[in-house]
Amino acid sequence: MKVAVIGGSGRAGSRIVEELARRGHEVTAIARKPEAAPKADGVTAKAVDVHDAKALTEALKGQDVVVSALRFVDASPAEVIGPVKASGVPRYLVVGGASSLMAGGQRLFDSPGFPEAYKPEAGAGIAFLEALKAEPDLDWTFLSPSAVFDGAERTGRFRLGQDDLLVAADGKSHISFPDFAIAMADEIETPRHRRQRFTVGY
């Protein structure tokens, strides 16, 4: 497949680019600094400003799938969703956040002690998910990581969930970037969560 990854040089985006290239897909890494995108067979890096709707639309045309791996505070939902729709690409997947997941009967975002420093990005992520849910026709998927989204280990062993935060036996909620990328690539190849949010964790 032809897959464009917006934010393809970032920590999550670069791992998704690598995983898709490993599987033989033709990947376009869209980034402000294309030189920072992964170097691999089948990967083309393009410099595109996500705030330039026309340029982003043109960069996405002809792709089979678009993955957005941007920080939510870096672009409004309309700035990304608009060009995705205008490009005619049939499927759109988003690297989501954990704050909208349920934990202890409430959203993680609303739990006592949720760090103030994370609230702008987390709140913007919630708004992005709500914008996707309001789209009448767009074929979207929003993949939320666990509470701790970090690490470079690629195990291939993880669990999937829907709207509840996944917590491992050790009491931690976490997922590495490579394992998140595997879950994303699996969903691209075999769609199971069309117009849904799901989550991945250990």
Quick one: average pLDDT of 47-72? 97
For residue range 160-184, what is the model confidence (pLDDT) as tens digits? Answer: 999 999 999 999 999 999 999 999 9
Model-wide pTM > 0.85: yes
- Find out whether 33 and 26 touch, Cβ atoms under 8 Å: no
Beta bridge partners of 201: 159
Give the pLDDT confidence score for residue 193 in this predicted structure. 98
Give the list of residues 6+ apart from residue 32 with CB closer than 8 angstroms, or none.
9, 47, 48, 49
Find the angle CA(77)-CA(202)-CA(193) to the nearest 5 degrees: 45
For residue range 79-124, what is the model confidence (pLDDT) as tens digits? Answer: 999 999 999 999 999 999 999 999 989 999 999 989 999 999 999 9
